[in-house]
A = this chain, B = another copy of it.
């Protein structure tokens, strides 16, 4: 491995919930070494049984590599392939994981390996959280979004027919194993989508990452991202997420800043029936709005807002809402957001590049004005 490689140790020693620490390891062409690493970490010391949960496309590309890697060091591997897509992140798929766990006789010392994107990671993670009241979990994220976001932090869960992520648990993985080379098979739109979350980390936590990204001519496709920048993105975002969640393992104060761009983003998704924009695209629009709100209330400067806009443009993310959207609906949808406390919308605003805070000083009027001025043609 001549390319940069790193291991980030997520330190939970000072967290409210003293979960054990775990490693986020990032290295190109590392997928074949997963089994060896798990052995080193004594994962499955008391039971060699492993259930790999994946989806058809990912397992076709990487299933053999992962299975061979695990078997070659002595793990007894079974796999379960679940259909891809958010709409399958439900109780039915979960039951299939439980059934596979039973069929493969997973014990308390056994391990579930989640090989896939956020949907697989959330479901397999939740099954690991709840099978025999919790067994070991290894996250092998295969999408950029999972690598920088969902695989880190311990949030697991499934959807209720009437709402996303309503059912879940906090369950930290024993290891997060990131091989950037698997991103070559990631569809371009999914790459751009994830870039919205990457930009978010720059804005709320990591000014240096933000500046590095500004130096890149384009951010919209993997092939335009130089290896050093890709490595910076993966390691700095993982570190940011890990630092934020380890300071606040259960959702509380500091973790709330991770919702930057998400409050208005969720409202846009809801109003457009989750069809027009995917999650990252909606978050990009949400950041444009939140950044403009922050500038209009003097939380950060107009120049900082403009720099954020440049990154969103370089990432090829949408910068405007379609003309037929009723902006009032978006404002109305805000009040249904999960983050509402006592009727006040909790808003995350940047205070400079690399720092953010939560405020309840944002009125519906301000939101309306900013949406009109910044997200319509």
| Interface set of A (CB-CB < 8 Å, partner B) | 16-19, 46, 91, 95, 98, 102, 107-108, 129-134, 155, 157, 160, 162-163, 166-170, 250-251, 338, 341
Contact = CB atoms under 8 A, between A and B. Distances in A.
Given A17-B17, A98-B167, A46 B341 contact: yes
A335 B322 CA distance: 65
B102 A163 contact: yes
B102 A166 contact: yes
Contacts of A46: 341
A250 B20 CA distance: 13
Given A18-B16, A18-B18, A102-B162, A169 B134 contact: yes
B169 A133 contact: yes
Contacts of A169: 129-130, 133-134, 169
A160 B17 CA distance: 29
Contact of A167 (B130, B160, B163, B250): B130
A130 B166 CA distance: 8
Contact of A170 (B108, B134, B166): B134
A107 B132 CA distance: 27
Copies of this protein in the assembly total 2
B102 A91 contact: no
A155 B133 contact: yes
Contacts of A91: 91, 95
Given A18-B16, A91-B91, A162-B102, A130 B341 contact: no
Contact of A133 (B18, B98, B131, B168): B168
A17 B171 CA distance: 13
Contacts of A250: 134
Nearest to A163: B102
Contacts of A95: 91
* Central interface residue in A16, A134, A167, by most chain B CB within 10 Å: A167
* Central interface residue in A46, A132, A170, by most chain B CB within 10 Å: A132
A71 B302 CA distance: 51
A266 to B, nearest CB: 15
